[in-house]
Amino acid sequence: MTAVTLVVSFLVVRANTDGDPVTQSGRIELAGVTKRFATPGGDAFTALRDVTMTVEPGEFCAVVGPSGCGKSTTLTMVAGLDRPSEGTVTVGGTPVAGIGRGISFMFQTDALLPWKTVLGNVAMGPLFRGAPKRAAHADARDWLRMVGLAGFEDHHPHQLSGGMRKRVSLAAALINEPSILLMDEPFGALDVQTKAIMSNELLTLWDQSRPSVIFVTHDLEEAIALADKVVVMTAGPGTVKDVFHIDLPRPRGSVQEIRFGQRFTELHHEIWASLRDEVTRAYARTSALANRTDAVEGARS
Amino acid sequence: MTRRRLAVLGTQVVVLILVFGGWQLFTSLKIVDPFFFGQPSGIVRTAWDWEQHGTNFGSIWLQIWTTMEEAIFGFLIGVTGGIVVGVLLGQFRFLSDVLSPYIKAVNALPRIVLGALFVIVLGLGISSKIVLAGFLVFFVVFFNAYQGVREVDGNLVNNARILGASRLDVIRNVVLPSAMTWIIASLHVAFGFAVIGAIVGEVLGAQHGLGVLITDSQNNFNTNGIFAGMIIIGLIALVAEWLIGLLERRLLAWRPQMASEAPAA
């Protein structure tokens, strides 16, 4: 196993003379990406239009935008679960074709297997990658300790609180030591306090291995508190409207307190000004649609 | 035992006494003709007679064992086949698109009639009954397994694939356990079908079995014999139901609370 890894990294070093091979594999590039879906009615629905963005190795990039602007679609294409209709998605210098190795994904809803124990869930990654059972379990125990869940190894997911389940998901995502971590509103369903605690913990763990992150959220404060870069997307079909660099120093400390800082407030104002138009537009569109449906139904009755 | 459970059990006993006591009473008073409707005391006498002196086809235990053997083997074959084919078709869209009209056509046949064919092809021994029972069980389990596989949460599958799971890993770790709730629910109904298959097969032609015993009673206008056979089959089904319940509790131990799956038929 180690021998193979050595050979592979040797080859990668030979291929990528311009950068550190390990961190280089975390580079994500989307160039002119358009994604259309066929609606049940047979029409084409454009979810993303001409999206171009780059995430540097080790960069924490947050993507904000109104609901339905194709944020999640972007993630599925980086993960290789879906292909763009036009344009290219490149990860670590190679175009994405199928599911990549160095990527982990944290979904909005729990993706834990309810029939496996907490330990079994976290150990899945190494087991699927061919690690022996004993090593995978030892590894999983370490990760559970790191997310503060030592002693819960034999519980089943339904016995845990929402926050604890998120910790398990986080451990399960990080145990494969990904160079890219994709997160789709991972803390969206949590209460405000738990969300803050989880955000702090995410930052601590991220800092240890520094994978590149794309963090999709609709919570602008969360985005600014966590990220190096915030990408604002337009109302659907989504495209990149603005990119803001968050120059708050790291380590940032508690996300609850950072938001009282002056620079944080300035950034918040600036980005919100950009985001507000899109949110308003998306809202106007859905309410117009609702009114039209009402009118049609009113005419029927 | 809680008070509630005690009350349930007590009422169950009262219902049993009322039904059989009333039956005995009405037939004794000749309000209902025992020749057509049997009589509990007569049923017990018939069963006791079978136990003591054997039936026209050998010992009663041989008849019971023959039917159970047919039902159990048919059940195992049908369940295995149903799960395998259900998972395969659920996983491979092309295969299911190709086969679905044929499966629907075969399912629409009155499958019991096939028993007549099996008796001709496989003879009067137990194999023709096993095949009929297995055939009936197969469709029940197959449709549930197929539906269960189709209902698997796409997120769970995607997550496993991103973590590095192969197709087989996904089936073993995600698809099968997820479909298991559906499959287990079908087992309760499926065992009933296995017994039906075995009995019908025996009625169509056999040398031993409870179905033969019931047909023989019918030919002799022995209603008590028919009822005795029915009650024995009912007891077997109760035991099987209890065993499947145990299996269910074991396989689905991870579930938050046990929703009791009552047999649908």
> Which residue from B minimizes the CA distance to A156?
B254
Residue A115 and residue B161: Cβ atoms within 8 Å?
A: no
Residues A96 and A186 in one domain: yes
Mean pLDDT across the stretch B15-36? 91
**Range(s) of the domain holding residue A21:** 14-102+179-293
Mean pLDDT by 10 residues, chain A (301 residues): 45 40 74 89 86 92 87 90 91 86 87 92 92 93 91 91 91 92 90 90 90 92 92 88 90 83 91 90 82 62 50
How are strands ordered across the β-sheet holding A86-91? Answer: A44-55, A28-38, A86-91, A94-95
CA distance A51 to B148: 38
Tell me: the pLDDT tens digits for B78-88? 999 999 999 99
Q: Is the pLDDT of residue B262 over 70?
A: no
> Which residue from A minimizes the CA distance to B251?
A115
Backbone angles phi, psi at A154, to 5 degrees: -95, 5
Residue B165 and residue A128: Cβ atoms within 8 Å?
A: yes
Residue A6 belongs to some domain of the structure: no
Amino acid at A247: D
Residue A252: what pLDDT?
84
Gyration radius from chain B CA atoms: 22
Residues A84 and A230 in one domain: yes
Tell me: the pLDDT tens digits for B40-72? 999 999 999 998 888 888 889 999 999 999 999
> Given the DSSP bridges, would you call strands A60-64 and A44-55 parallel, antiparallel or unpaired?
unpaired
* pLDDT top residue among B80 and B250: B80
Residue B29, beta-bridge partner list: none
Residues A173 and A183 in one domain: no
Residues of chain B with pLDDT > 70, as a percent, come to 96
Tell me: the pLDDT tens digits for A87-107? 999 998 888 888 888 899 998
Gyration radius from chain A CA atoms: 21
Residue A299: what pLDDT?
56
Q: Output the six-digit token pair for B215.
A: 């047909």
Distance, in angstroms, between B251 CA and closest chain A CA? 9
Residue B256: what pLDDT?
74
Residue A52: what pLDDT?
92
Residues A155 and A202 in one domain: no
* pLDDT top residue among B34 and A272: A272
Residue A7 belongs to some domain of the structure: no
> Taking Cα atoms as reference points, which of A34, A9, A7, A35 lies closest to residue A20?
A9
Residue A28: what pLDDT?
93
**Number of Cβ pairs < 8 A linking chain A and chain B:** 56
Residues A183 and A173 in one domain: no
Residue A116 and residue B159: Cβ atoms within 8 Å?
A: no
CATH 3.40.50.10260 fits B41-251, yes or no: no
B161, B164, B173: residue with CB nearest A113:
B173
Residues A143 and A262 in one domain: no
Tell me: the pLDDT tens digits for A216-257? 998 899 999 999 999 999 887 888 989 999 988 888 878 888
Our count of domains for chain A comes to: 2
Residue A4: what pLDDT?
46
What pTM did the predictor assign? 0.78
